[in-house]
């Protein structure tokens, strides 16, 4: 396989030095926050200064600035999506994951009929945005099956079909793009090389360098929308957040402004069958709020996604800190939507928010958000499309978010 000399290459020593910066004084915080008002993003050293803020007053100022930025980019919209797990088979041995090879007995790959049943269940509930997920099982998790899933999802009216599968070669990424995948997502988990090797002990994912080059290969193949993330709790969060920002900036510098990066901020959760159940470097609620706020200020137009790993109250606080995308009504078990609670369930992690899509939407609306399931303002992953729509029914016809709310009210859907 040829080597891409221009792919992202982390300067770990520089990232470590930035991650150890002492907290900035009040004047520096104000100076950096002032710069964010134009929604031009942050440099990595500026982000390092904000991540180093520890005092309550400084943290509150960072959260306020992020909240203001989110209001300008996403307005009151908070977009809802759902992951569809095609398989829980995986060739890797990631110590924190319930899908790792050797853990649990009941492994399966959904067949075509089961995929249709899952999609039908999700469309009936009201979902419009799909994230297709598969573990790394190269024999089974074929690109062809993903293509068939996307086709079936489009037939059922899903407007977005993002894909989270194992890193591929450029040629295989081209095949994946041809399936109609709207976004490619893969998390580095941790950018810290030694920690990475310690927690990825078997399978192709143990290759740190191959994973680090994933996004460059995806863009070379033609993907323009990329989902990135680290598993918070594996290593010092300041190091990992700053490394991810360096990575995102590298992609834009190398490949141009047309690259849309979205960020996920999962915290390590217990999982049945996982060997690592406690985070080696725990991330507190306050730290997670600060992380989301810094991402919002650094990448003001980017989606920031929150999973059901977080409790409902925390998800609401994260929405106020600038998170824009929320999974809802989730099962991490293949087949778990058409057949809730399958026997001998193998799941990727323990879910903390068990609310249905309808309950999430209702609670969000109660907090003043527009829980966005719109089929029209979803075409772009960045916030501008959602913001510009602003659900202005008088200008753009009846908004589908409102139609969905009314449908729920009328049909009294149980979920
Ligand atoms: S984290 Fe992903 S790659 Fe690792 S074991 Fe779990 S499903 Fe497989």
CATH code, domain carrying 323:
3.20.20.70
Bridge-partner residues for 94, per DSSP?
A: 200
Residue 153: Cβ within 10 Å count: 25
Helix then strand then coil, in percent of the chain rounded to 5, is 45, 10, 45
Query: Given this model, what pLDDT does residue 374 score?
Result: 72
How far apart CA 409 and CA 415 sit, in angstroms, is: 12
Domain assignment present for residue 413? The answer is no
Report the SS3 class of residue 112. Answer: helix
Determine the number of helices (DSSP H) and then strands (DSSP E) in the chain: 17, 9
Is 125 part of any domain? yes
Q: Quote the CA–CA distance of 104 and 83 in Å, as a whole number.
A: 21
| pLDDT mean values, one per 10 residues, the chain (415 residues) | 85 97 97 95 98 97 97 87 92 91 77 96 92 79 89 92 95 95 96 97 95 97 96 98 98 92 94 88 98 97 95 98 96 89 61 93 89 63 44 42 51 41
d(CA 145, CA 351): 27
Task: Identify which of 85, 136, 233 to mutate to test ligand 1's pocket (most ligand atoms within 8 A of the CB).
Answer: 136
Nearest to 320 by CA among 302, 300, 293: 293
Ligand 1 centroid – CA 275 distance (Å): 13
Q: Which atom of ligand 1 is nearest to the CA of 100?
A: 5
> Could you give the 3-state DSSP secondary structure of residue 135?
coil
State the pLDDT at residue 342: 56
Q: What is the pTM of this model?
A: 0.91
Spatial contact of 404 and 391, defined as CB atoms under 8 Å apart: no
Q: Is residue 408 part of a domain?
A: no
Rounded to the nearest 10°, the torsion over CA 287, 289, 293, 298 is: 50
**Rounded-to-integer distance, Cα 261 and Cα 110, Å:** 29
Task: Answer whether 270's CB lies under 8 Å from 103's CB.
Answer: no
Q: Residues with Cβ within 6 A of ligand 1?
A: 90, 92, 94, 97, 99-100, 135-136, 205
pLDDT of residue 390: 46
Distance of CA 270 to the CA centre of its chain: 19
Q: Which domain holds residue 130?
A: 12-356
Q: What are the structure tokens assigned to 113, written together?
A: 């009929």
Pocket test for ligand 1, best of 83, 93, 96, 97 (most atoms within 8 A of CB): 97
Å from CA of 181 to ligand 1 middle: 20
In a domain, 394, yes or no: no
| Contact partners, residue 14, CB within 8 Å, separation at least 6 | none
In the chain, the number of structural domains is 1
Amino acid 405: pLDDT: 54
């Amino acid at each position: 396989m040829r080597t891409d000399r221009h792919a992202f290459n982390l300067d770990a020593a520089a990232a470590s030095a930035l991650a150890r910066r002492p907290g900035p004084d009040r004047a520096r915080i104000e100076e950096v926050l002032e710069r964010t008002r134009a929604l031009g993003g942050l440099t990595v050293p500026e982000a390092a200064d904000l991540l180093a803020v520890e005092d309550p007053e400084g943290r509150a100022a960072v959260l306020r600035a992020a909240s203001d930025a989110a209001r300008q980019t996403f307005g009151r919209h908070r977009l809802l999506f759902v992951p569809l797990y095609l398989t829980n088979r995986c060739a890797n041995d990631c110590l924190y994951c319930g899908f790792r090879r050797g853990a649990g007995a009941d492994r399966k790959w959904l067949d075509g009929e089961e995929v249709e049943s899952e999609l039908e269940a999700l469309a009936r509930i009201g979902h419009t945005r799909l994230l297709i997920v598969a573990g790394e099982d190269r024999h089974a998790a074929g690109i062809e099956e993903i293509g068939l899933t996307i086709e079936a999802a489009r037939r059922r009216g899903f407007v977005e079909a993002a894909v989270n599968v194992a890193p591929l070669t450029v040629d295989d990424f081209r095949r994946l793009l041809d399936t109609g995948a709207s976004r490619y997502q893969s998390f580095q988990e941790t950018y810290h090389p030694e920690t990475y090797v310690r927690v990825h002990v078997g399978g192709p994912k143990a290759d740190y360098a191959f994973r680090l080059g994933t996004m460059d290969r995806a863009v070379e193949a033609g993907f323009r929308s990329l989902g990135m993330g680290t598993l918070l709790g594996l290593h010092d969060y300041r190091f990992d957040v700053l490394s991810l920002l360096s990575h995102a900036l590298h992609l834009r510098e190398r490949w141009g402004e047309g690259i849309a990066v979205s960020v996920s901020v999962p915290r390590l959760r217990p999982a049945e069958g996982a060997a690592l159940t406690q985070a080696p470097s725990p991330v507190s609620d306050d730290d997670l709020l600060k992380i989301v706020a810094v991402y919002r200020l650094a990448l003001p137009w980017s989606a920031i996604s929150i999973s059901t790993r977080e409790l409902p109250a925390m998800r609401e606080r994260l929405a106020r800190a600038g998170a824009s995308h929320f999974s809802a009504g989730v099962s991490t078990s293949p087949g778990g939507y058409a057949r809730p609670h399958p026997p001998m369930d193998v799941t990727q992690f323990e879910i903390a928010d068990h609310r249905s899509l309808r309950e999430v939407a209702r609670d969000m609306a109660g907090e003043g958000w527009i829980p966005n399931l719109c089929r029209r303002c979803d075409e772009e992953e960045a916030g501008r499309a959602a913001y510009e729509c602003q659900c202005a029914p008088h200008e753009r016809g009846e908004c589908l978010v409102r139609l969905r709310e009314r449908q729920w009210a009328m049909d009294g859907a149980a979920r």
